[in-house]
Structure 1
Amino acid sequence: MYVGVGSGNPVKRRAVESVLEATDAFDSDATVEAVPVDSGVSEQPVGHAETVRGAETRAANVLESGEYDLGVGIEGGVARVEGASGLFLVMWAAVDDGETSGLGSGPSLRLPDAIAARVESGEELGPVMDDVLGESDVAKRQGAAGALTGGSLDRQSALAAAVSGALGPFATDHY
């Protein structure tokens, strides 16, 4: 099986690899490749709808190349959640084979107020986290998820949860 992940970010590729390796329904020899594609949404998606659209667009754009059995799109965004205060980091994954598609979300993590204020003023979360942590390329390592949970949940694991949900229609016959 040849799987394309619609991003050049190695964390997203590793998240997909980890899920495929752990799922009995997939060949252990699946090849997973990073495929940088356009998301069709803003650099910092806001709201669940825009974040889902970004994941779906990435998956579809991977398939357009004609080389992959599965296209996987993963998109992180920020959203307000009805009934909860604050701004949350959200993540969505989409998987598509041209006939069947699946969607799944990862955990939602409340952003600290100071970080949320910067994002709401127009900054992208990744560079804000780099600045706050005094590091670079946080999004390619622990991600905001790792920083905001004291390392108990890293970005790869959080994204893997979203990918696991999106692979449901491909991994079981319950759909």
Structure 2
Amino acid sequence: MAFPKRKNIRPERQRERELLVVVGSKNPVKVQCTENGFQRAFSAHHFIVEGLNINSEVSDQPFGDAETSLGAFNRAKNAKNTFPEADYWVGIEGGVEDLDDEMTAFAWVTIMDRNGVVGKSKTATFILPEAIGKLIRGGMELGEADDKVFDRENSKQGNGAVGMLTKGTIDRKEYYEQAVVLALIPFISDNLYT
């Protein structure tokens, strides 16, 4: 798989190499939140962020923390195996879990670098309406259930359940972005994680 050639670096940055980040998904929300998170964490660096269609090796709709976290890890690992020339690899996986008689939604983020360092983080969780939970328990993915309940199309590449349920107060990109920054903690505070 070939990526576009790296952009020319402005004269004041010629000594600084652009860093390539590969996201284990072509979902534009996941790619953009990754780019935003890296820029927030490392504002002095320039990143090129690209998405690849990568298999998570878990269910289409992961259920529970363990399966969702594994999906994020597998996306990062498989992105690294697919494009080993990058500097960082990111996996983002959304999941659901029953908590008593309610269903919660969340996502896990895994980030790997060339030195074998791995950072992980989980987003905040929120309770899904029963109408969506029932559809998921019946075999639908969260994105499909959102589309059906909210009469939308392809909401998982837009504002997602969190955006629709908060009426845009928090969109999916913003929701994931904070978790990307938190997964970068071992790289930000590397002296404490080596």
- TM-score, scaled to structure 2: 0.84
Residue 24 of structure 1 deviates from its aligned partner by 3.1
Partner of 2:155: 138
1:127 equivalent among 141, 144, 166: 144
Paired residue total: 172
Which deviates more from structure 2 when the two are superposed, residues 123-132 or residues 69-78? Answer: 123-132
Partner of 1:67: 85
2:52 equivalent among 35, 39, 55: 35
Which structure is larger by alpha-carbon Rg, 1 or 2?
Answer: 2
Which deviates more from structure 2 when the two are superposed, residues 49-58 or residues 108-117? Answer: 108-117
What is the CA RMSD across the aligned residues, in angstroms?
1.4
Residue 85 of structure 1 deviates from its aligned partner by 4.7
Paired letter, 2:104 = F
Paired letter, 2:186 = P
Cα distance in 1 for partners of 2:173, 2:150 equals 18
Structure 1 moving runs of 4+ over 2 Å: none
Partner of 2:188: 171
Residue 120 of structure 1 deviates from its aligned partner by 1.0
Unmatched segments (≥5 aa) in structure 2: 1-18
Residue 67 of structure 1 deviates from its aligned partner by 2.1
SS at 1:57 equivalent: helix
With a CA cutoff of 8 Å and minimum separation of 6, indicate the structure with the bigger relative contact order.
1
Alignment of 1:1-175 (within 5 A): 1-24=19-42, 27=45, 29-64=46-81, 65-81=83-99, 85-98=101-114, 99-173=116-190, 174-175=192-193
Residue 66 of structure 1 deviates from its aligned partner by 1.1
Residue 171 of structure 1 deviates from its aligned partner by 1.3
Paired letter, 1:40 = E
SS at 1:41 equivalent: coil
Paired letter, 1:41 = V
What is the identity percentage for the equivalent residue pairs of Structure 1 and Structure 2?
Answer: 37
The Cα offsets for residues 96-118 of structure 1, whole Å up to 9 and x where unpaired, read as: 11410010011111000111111
Paired letter, 1:158 = Y
